[in-house]
A and B are shown apart, each in its own frame.
Chain A
């Protein structure tokens, strides 16, 4: 295992993560393990990698107003609560049934996102009271369509509860749980695909920090292993962030669906082998 290979492997992970709204941990961990990195080091490294993808892509997305800051600020409380509960529950609850519950949730998301493939931008006519009170709405310039898209967010309470579930999954599985978060943004909060992936990217950096700090103090971060991964993830995510707004919403959903199928397979596999 050498530095150049780690750097080159991380670039596509960061690129895909930036486009699909994931940190890339779900892709990176199995690759590192296959390269001979012990699982605990692979998970710890992926936590820092998630922060790199999140910060690298969000730097561009926030400026372009693709990320919805208010939605992110509101949901961060829920996702961090879920992550803490998840980390505590791993000690008391057998993981086997949970993998199947997470897989079922993702299968449900897959079916719903597939049904929306033909719908370019979802339209919310009326917001619920909480969403309106928190001013959960936004606008961004869609480079592909060539116009400013204004959208409203709804179901804030359900979105918050969904984020607790996503945080729970992330805390228990040691990943950023971007696939869960993007599903909640799209399906519950009715956000368009691009703000969904970018806002998910923004939030996972913060939740990954909670996990990464644990690994930092427990000595599981290896400087020479993490460093090239951080470089690769940053470079990949910066490239991904430049491309996303030029893609059609259909392509963004297709990339997401592909990774969703991959995540479902992993959940079922881990459920069977746990």
Chain B
């Protein structure tokens, strides 16, 4: 792969790593859920199964289906965010000012949207 393809390779690695970690955690979490619920796969939508960052951080040391599945969802959720950041860093190294501007703007807008809503 040539130097010209480096951006594709970098972004591809970020996405592949995000997808593999998320999928592995997800399947492991579903497996745990199956045993925690006495071999039952039925789900109930209630306040206890709500995904929240606070709840996830409070239970982060516990290995149970809720924590593992929450981690898997958060990994896939923030994979595009890491991807935008990686692109920005790449264009900074390349000193490609047009694309630094474009990726930096997207990164800032995305950060504001995530932090202040």
Contacts and interface: CB of A to CB of B under 8 A. Distances in A.
A binds B: yes
Contacts of B65: 224
B11 A69 contact: yes
Contact of B12 (A51, A63, A76, A217): A63
A65 B84 contact: no
Secondary structure type dominating chain A contacts? helix
A230 interface: yes
B26 to A, nearest CB: 5
Nearest to A73: B102
B43 A2 contact: yes
Contacts of B45: 37-38, 41, 222, 224-225
Contact of A55 (B5, B19, B34): B19
A1 B110 CA distance: 34
B73 A227 contact: yes
In this complex, which of A70, A73, A77, A84 has the most chain B Cβ atoms within 10 angstroms of its Cβ?
Answer: A73
A212 B77 contact: yes
A259 to B, nearest CB: 22
A86 interface: no
A103 B60 CA distance: 46
B109 interface: yes
Contacts of B43: 1-3, 6, 224-225
Interface in A1-23: 1-4, 6-7
27 contacts: A1-B42, A1-B43, A7-B30, A37-B45, A51-B77, A51-B79, A56-B19, A60-B12, A62-B15, A67-B8, A77-B109, A80-B110, A84-B109, A206-B80, A206-B110, A209-B77, A209-B110, A210-B113, A210-B114, A216-B52, A217-B53, A219-B51, A219-B52, A222-B51, A223-B66, A224-B33, A227-B29
Interface of B: 5, 7-9, 11-12, 15-16, 18-19, 22-23, 26-27, 29-30, 33-34, 41-45, 49-53, 65-66, 69-70, 72-73, 76-81, 83-84, 87, 98-99, 102-103, 105-106, 109-110, 113-114, 117
Given A214-B113, A223-B50, 17 more contacts: A3-B34, A3-B41, A48-B76, A58-B11, A58-B15, A63-B16, A73-B103, A133-B98, A209-B110, A214-B117, A216-B51, A216-B52, A221-B50, A223-B66, A226-B73, A231-B23, A231-B30
